[in-house]
Structure 1
Amino acid sequence: MNWDIVFEPALPPALLAALSAAAVIVLIFSFWRRARGAPWRAGALALLMLALLNPTVRQEDRSPVPDVAAIVVDESQSQQIGERPTQTEAALGKLEKEIAAAGDIETRIVRVRNDPGSENGTELFTALENALTDVPRERIAGAVLLTDGQVHDVPKSAEALGFDAPVHALVTGRKNEHDRRLTVVEAPRFGIVDEPLSLSFRVDETGEQSEGIAPVTISVDGEKLTTANATIGQTTTVTLSLSHGGPNVIEVDVAPGPEELTMLNNRAVVVANGIRDRLRVLLVSGEPHPGERTWRNLLKADPAVDLVHFTILRPPEKQDATPVSELSLIAFPTRELFSEKLDQFDLIIFDRYKRRGVLPLAYLSNIVDYVEKGGAILAAAGPAFASPYSIYRTPLSSILPARPTGNVSIGGFTPDITKMGRKHPVTANLPGEASADDAQADADWGRWFRTVDTTTDSGETVMDTPDGKPLIVLDHAGEGRVAQLLSDQVWLWSRGFEGGGPYAELLRRLAHWLMKEPDLEEERLSASTKGGVMTIRRRTMADETPPAEITLPSGKTQDLKLTETAPGRFEATLPAEELGLYRIRQGDLSAVAAAGPLNPKEFADVRATDAKLKDLAAETGGGLWWLGDKADNMPSLRMVRAGHDAAGSGWFGLRRNEQYLVNAVHQVPLMTGFLALALILGSIALAWHREGR
Structure 2
Amino acid sequence: MAWDIVFEPLLSVWLISAIALPGLAALAYGAIRRARGAPWRTAAFAVLLLALANPTVRQEDREAVPDIAAIVVDRSQSQEIGARPEDTSAALQKISERLAREDGIETRIVTATGNPDDEEGTALFAALEEALADVPRERIAGAIFITDGQVHDVPANAAALGFDAPVHGVIVGRKGEKDRRLHVTEAPRFGIVGEPVKLTFRVDETSAGDGPTGETARVTVRIDGIEAAVTNAPIGEITGVMLQLGHGGPNVIEIDVDKGSDELTMINNRAVIVANGVRDRLRVLLVSGEPHPGERTWRNLLRSDPSVDLVHFTILRPPEKDDGTPIGELSLITFPTHELFDQKLDEFDLIVFDRYKRRGVLSPGYFLNIVEYVERGGAFLAASGPAFASPFSIYRTPLAAILPAQPTGEISIGGYRPEVTEAGNRHPVTAALPGAEKSPPEWGRWFRTIEVNADGGDILMETPDGKPLMMLARAGEGRVAQLLSDQIWLWSRGYEGGGPQAELLRRLAHWLMKEPDLEEENLSAIAEDGTLTIRRRTMLEETPAARVTLPSGEEREVPLEEVAPGRFEGTAEARELGLYRIAQGDLSAVAAAGPLNPREFADVRATADVMQPVVAATGGGIWWAGENAGDTPGIRSVRANQDAAGANWMGLRRNEHYIVHAVHQVPLLTGPVALILILGTLALAWWREGR
**Correspondence list, 1:99-498, <5 A:** 99-207=99-207, 210-435=213-438, 441-498=439-496
Q: AA paired with 1:181?
A: R
SS of the equivalent of 1:183 reads: strand
SS of the equivalent of 2:426 reads: coil
Q: AA paired with 1:136?
A: P
Report the CA distance between 1:162 and its aligned residue: 1.3
Q: Distance in 2 between matches of 1:190 and 1:22?
A: 96
SS of the equivalent of 1:247 reads: strand
Q: Which is worse superposed, 453-462 or 206-215?
A: 206-215
Pair 1:607 & 2:610 matched? no
Q: Distance in 2 between matches of 1:154 and 1:483?
A: 62
Q: What per-residue deviation string (whole Å, max 9, x for no partner) do you get for residues 285-342 of structure 1?
A: 0000000000001111111111110000001110111122212210001111111111
Q: Distance in 1 between matches of 2:552 and 2:253?
A: 19
Q: Distance in 2 between matches of 1:512 and 1:28?
A: 114
Q: Distance in 2 between matches of 1:317 and 1:25?
A: 145
Q: Distance in 1 between matches of 2:273 and 2:25?
A: 88
1:15 to 1:546, Cα distance in 2 relative to 1, 3 A: farther
Report the CA distance between 1:596 and its aligned residue: 2.4
SS of the equivalent of 1:207 reads: helix
Which residue of structure 1 aligns with residue 676 of structure 2? 678
2:249 touches 2:515 (CA, 8 Å); kept in 1?
A: no
Q: Distance in 1 between matches of 2:283 and 2:17?
A: 100
1:238 to 1:32, Cα distance in 2 relative to 1, 3 A: farther
Give the counterpart of 2:498 among 494, 497, 500. 500
Which residue of structure 2 aligns with residue 586 of structure 1? 584
Identity of aligned residues (%): 67
1:114 touches 1:579 (CA, 8 Å); kept in 2?
A: no
1:22 to 1:349, Cα distance in 2 relative to 1, 3 A: farther
SS of the equivalent of 1:336 reads: helix
Which residue of structure 1 aligns with residue 55 of structure 2? 55
Which residue of structure 2 aligns with residue 438 of structure 1? none
Report the CA distance between 1:23 and its aligned residue: 5.4
2:217 touches 2:235 (CA, 8 Å); kept in 1?
A: yes
Q: Distance in 2 between matches of 1:576 and 1:561?
A: 15
Q: Which is worse superposed, 271-280 or 336-345?
A: 271-280
SS of the equivalent of 2:370 reads: helix
Report the CA distance between 1:176 and its aligned residue: 1.4
Q: What per-residue deviation string (whole Å, max 9, x for no partner) do you get for residues 78-134 of structure 1?
A: 111111111111111111111111233211111110112321111111111111111
SS of the equivalent of 2:505 reads: helix
SS of the equivalent of 2:400 reads: helix
Q: AA paired with 2:280?
A: D
1:23 to 1:73, Cα distance in 2 relative to 1, 3 A: farther
Q: AA paired with 2:205?
A: E
Q: Distance in 2 between matches of 1:459 and 1:389?
A: 24
1:452 to 1:635, Cα distance in 2 relative to 1, 3 A: same
Q: Distance in 2 between matches of 1:263 and 1:317?
A: 72
Q: Distance in 1 between matches of 2:150 and 2:309?
A: 54
Report the CA distance between 1:43 and its aligned residue: 2.9
Report the CA distance between 1:24 and its aligned residue: 4.9
Report the CA distance between 1:536 and its aligned residue: 1.0
Q: AA paired with 2:407?
A: P
Q: Distance in 1 between matches of 2:309 and 2:280?
A: 10
1:219 to 1:20, Cα distance in 2 relative to 1, 3 A: farther
Q: What per-residue deviation string (whole Å, max 9, x for no partner) do you get for residues 467-514 of structure 1?
A: 111000001111110000000000011111111111111111111110
Q: Distance in 1 between matches of 2:675 and 2:196?
A: 105
Report the CA distance between 1:160 and its aligned residue: 1.1
Report the CA distance between 1:199 and its aligned residue: 1.0
1:653 to 1:473, Cα distance in 2 relative to 1, 3 A: same
Q: Which is worse superposed, 315-324 or 278-287?
A: 315-324
Give the counterpart of 2:521 among 523, 531, 543. 523
2:270 touches 2:578 (CA, 8 Å); kept in 1?
A: no
SS of the equivalent of 1:102 reads: coil
Q: AA paired with 1:305?
A: V
1:87 touches 1:629 (CA, 8 Å); kept in 2?
A: no
Report the CA distance between 1:61 and its aligned residue: 2.0
Structure 1 length-normalised TM: 0.96
Q: CA RMSD in A?
A: 1.8
SS of the equivalent of 1:528 reads: strand
1:411 to 1:656, Cα distance in 2 relative to 1, 3 A: same
1:204 touches 1:210 (CA, 8 Å); kept in 2?
A: no
Q: AA paired with 1:442?
A: P
1:181 touches 1:604 (CA, 8 Å); kept in 2?
A: yes
Q: AA paired with 2:314?
A: T
Q: AA paired with 1:60?
A: E
Report the CA distance between 1:45 and its aligned residue: 3.5
Q: Distance in 2 between matches of 1:305 and 1:190?
A: 18
2:206 touches 2:603 (CA, 8 Å); kept in 1?
A: no
Q: Distance in 1 between matches of 2:224 and 2:391?
A: 48
